[in-house]
């Protein structure tokens, strides 16, 4: 009976009820659209980090904090034995998708034909493993990473960041568009500078020293020389061919990144010594498995290499920017929800207060025939509850429709600090926790906001209410 009366009372003043419902719906839509935008950013960042470095990485315990100063000092000896132990573990085997070593080192890259050089950060990968890692897409994000160009490439092929290609004056030879060039008259701008000394060239190519003036073999791809320091301090040089320039997402990485085949990187850094890896990347089938998988990997490490100072870090620890970004958007989402909640509170409260004033005589009549104060409170609170339910439901429908429209437009946006535009989508469908939480929150706010007018209506004097004009 109360529900029926509340529905009929709301329909008596359709214009006011419709205005209140629209306010609730717009509020719910706004919250859900921003929440869907935040969710898409979260999944895009997560997918990018997992495709590039896996869910977990096994490293020397000090590599994350001090490895940038001397990466090769924290190389893992016997890393193949660790990979076999992890891959063959019966608990990890069903969940582990890719296990791959990587070697990070610092060095110097030079294009001696143009007389330019710069410091770089080299990273050695197993190309086939990286290609498989880039296929991981648990959350259905539009493709973020291009196909890995080093797959089936020669051992001496490398990929450089766009910034490295620009500084080393390789843009023309790589066919890069929108690549700035130095001003005319810059001494570095033209080719024909002093060639790499013959003894260093021989060291780079691993051949006996070539006589001065002897013609070099023709190459199709531009060649650069990489200089790295071996663990004992001796330098080593390798001549490599630039296969492609690839956007690394952030300008800081673009300016220093050189990606090599793992075998080439190990040969450059360790020479004829035992090859090592600075990290072992582990990509899982499902992100939710990270806690259990990390715990099991630690147990396997203790069994396979007891006493070794190794640590297991997940992608959140390796990429603090991810956690900082998610916390920022969660804070903004909470602020928006509180703001919308305040608007809903006052809107429903004003609607209910106006209804109490219009129906003062009716309240006195029903109180005179025996309806208790609790019945009056229940009636008005039920009206607020109905407004909340219908308005929140309408808001969810509008959010789903608008999210689908935005997705169909194929828009892009440029994240702060990034040089790669990302597809702009709003992930509302499928985010059931966010949808239910938003609906329940607004329904509770609408119900609570009707309580004060209901309390005042219940406390009206029967005599004063009956003679109210």
3-class DSSP state of 425: coil
109 forms bridges with which residues in the sheet? 118, 226
Supply the pLDDT for residue 195.
53
Same domain (yes/no): 242, 161 = yes
Report the distance separating Cα 103 and Cα 123, nearest Å.
6
Report the distance separating Cα 456 and Cα 51, nearest Å.
60
Select from 273, 308, 343 the last residue of a domain.
308
Name the domain count of the chain.
2
Supply the pLDDT for residue 468.
64
Dihedral of the alpha carbons of 17, 23, 25, 27, in degrees to the nearest 10: -160
Same domain (yes/no): 222, 253 = yes
Q: What is the DSSP letter of 466?
A: H
Same domain (yes/no): 295, 409 = no
Residue 356 lies in a domain: yes
Supply the pLDDT for residue 378.
85
3-class DSSP state of 306: coil
**What is the number of other CB atoms lying within 10 angstroms of the CB of residue 146?**
10
Report the distance separating Cα 242 and Cα 264, nearest Å.
13
Q: Write the pLDDT tens digit of every residue in 324-339.
A: 989 999 999 999 999 9
Distances from the Cα of 146 to the Cαs of 48, 153, 240, in angstroms?
11, 16, 22
Same domain (yes/no): 108, 238 = yes
Mean per-residue pLDDT for 31-40?
92
Report the distance separating Cα 343 and Cα 46, nearest Å.
34
Query: Which two tokens mark 322?
Result: 């991810």
Q: Lowest-confidence range among 190-204, 308-322, 429-443? A: 190-204
Greater pLDDT, 35 or 413: 35
Same domain (yes/no): 172, 146 = yes
Same domain (yes/no): 17, 119 = no
Q: Write the pLDDT tens digit of every residue in 77-123.
A: 889 999 999 999 999 999 999 999 999 998 999 998 888 999 999 99
Same domain (yes/no): 75, 212 = yes
Winning range, highest mean pLDDT, from 268-272, 281-285, 417-421, 460-464:
281-285
Q: pLDDT-derived band of residue 416, with 50, 70 and 90 as boundaries?
A: low
Select from 263, 283, 308 the last residue of a domain.
308
Q: What percent of the chain is modeled with pLDDT above 90?
A: 47
Supply the pLDDT for residue 259.
95
Mean per-residue pLDDT for 444-450?
90
Contacts of 19 (CB under 8 A, 6+ apart): 351
CB 381 within 8 A of CB 4: no
Residue 19 lies in a domain: yes
Residue 216 predicted with pLDDT over 70: no
Taking all residues of the chain, what is their mean pLDDT, rounded to a whole number?
A: 85
Same domain (yes/no): 104, 194 = yes
Supply the pLDDT for residue 212.
41
State which residues form the domain around 381. 2-45+323-466
Same domain (yes/no): 401, 452 = yes
Residue 51 lies in a domain: no
DSSP assignment of 2-41, as one string?
A: HHHHHHHHHHHTHHHHHHHHHHHHHHHHHHHHHHHHHHHH
Residue 169 predicted with pLDDT over 60: yes
Q: Write the pLDDT tens digit of every residue in 194-213.
A: 555 555 555 555 544 444 44
Query: Which two tokens mark 197?
Result: 């000394």
pTM of the model: 0.81
CB 275 within 8 A of CB 51: no
Residue 143 lies in a domain: yes
Residue 225 predicted with pLDDT over 80: yes
DSSP assignment of 35-99, as one string?
A: HHHHHHHHHHHHHHHHHHH-SEEEEETTHHHHTTT-GGGG-BTTHHHHHHHHHH-TTTTTTEEEE
Task: Report the candidate in 274, 268, 270 with the shortest Cα–Cα distance to residue 239.
Answer: 268
Task: Report the candidate in 259, 285, 258, 314 with the shortest Cα–Cα distance to residue 132.
Answer: 285
Mean per-residue pLDDT for 58-65?
91
Task: Report the candidate in 286, 315, 288, 332 with the shortest Cα–Cα distance to residue 39.
Answer: 332
């Amino acid at each position: 009976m109360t529900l029926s009366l509340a529905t009929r009372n709301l329909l008596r003043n359709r214009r006011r009820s419709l205005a209140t419902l629209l306010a609730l719906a717009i509020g719910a839509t706004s919250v859900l659209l921003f929440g869907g935008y935040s969710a898409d950013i979260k999944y895009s960042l997560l997918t990018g980090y997992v495709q590039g470095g896996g869910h977990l990485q096994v490293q020397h315990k000090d590599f994350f904090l001090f490895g940038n100063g001397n990466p090769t000092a924290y190389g893992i000896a016997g890393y193949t034995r660790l990979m076999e132990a992890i891959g063959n573990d019966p608990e990890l085997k069903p969940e582990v998708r890719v296990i791959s070593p990587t070697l990070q080192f610092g060095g110097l890259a030079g294009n001696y034909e143009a007389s330019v050089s710069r410091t770089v950060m080299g990273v050695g990968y197993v190309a086939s493993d990286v290609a498989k890692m880039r296929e991981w897409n648990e959350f259905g994000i539009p493709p973020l990473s291009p196909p890995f160009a080093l797959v089936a490439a020669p051992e001496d092929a490398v990929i450089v960041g766009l910034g490295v290609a620009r500084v080393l004056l390789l843009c023309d030879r790589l066919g890069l568009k929108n690549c700035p060039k130095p001003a005319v008259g810059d001494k570095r701008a033209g080719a024909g500078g002093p060639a790499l000394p013959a003894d260093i060239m021989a060291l780079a190519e691993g051949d006996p020293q070539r006589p001065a003036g002897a013609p070099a073999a023709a190459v199709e791809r531009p060649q650069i020389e990489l200089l790295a320091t071996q663990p004992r301090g001796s330098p080593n040089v390798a001549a490599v061919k630039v296969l492609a320039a690839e956007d690394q997402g952030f300008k800081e990485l673009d300016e220093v990144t050189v990606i090599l085949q793992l075998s080439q990187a190990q040969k450059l850094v360790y020479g004829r010594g035992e090859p090592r890896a600075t990290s072992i990347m582990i990509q899982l089938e499902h992100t939710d498995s990270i806690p259990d998988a990390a715990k099991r990997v630690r147990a396997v490490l203790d069994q396979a290499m007891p006493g070794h100072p190794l640590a297991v870090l997940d992608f959140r620890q390796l990429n603090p920017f991810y956690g900082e970004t998610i916390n920022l958007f969660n804070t903004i989402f909470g602020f928006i929800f509180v703001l919308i909640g305040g608007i809903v509170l006052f809107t429903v409260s004003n609607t209910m207060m106006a209804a109490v004033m219009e129906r003062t005589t009716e309240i006195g009549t029903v109180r005179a025939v025996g309806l208790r104060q609790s019945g009056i409170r229940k009636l008005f609170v039920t009206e607020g509850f109905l407004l909340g339910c219908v308005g929140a439901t309408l808001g969810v429908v509008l959010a789903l429709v608008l999210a689908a429209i935005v997705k169909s437009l194929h828009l892009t946006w440029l994240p702060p600090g990034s040089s790669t535009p990302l597809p702009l989508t709003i992930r509302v469908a499928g985010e059931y926790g966010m949808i239910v939480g938003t609906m329940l929150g607004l329904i509770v706010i609408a119900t609570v906001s009707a309580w004060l007018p209901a309390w005042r209506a219940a406390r009206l004097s029967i005599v004063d209410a009956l003679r109210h004009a």
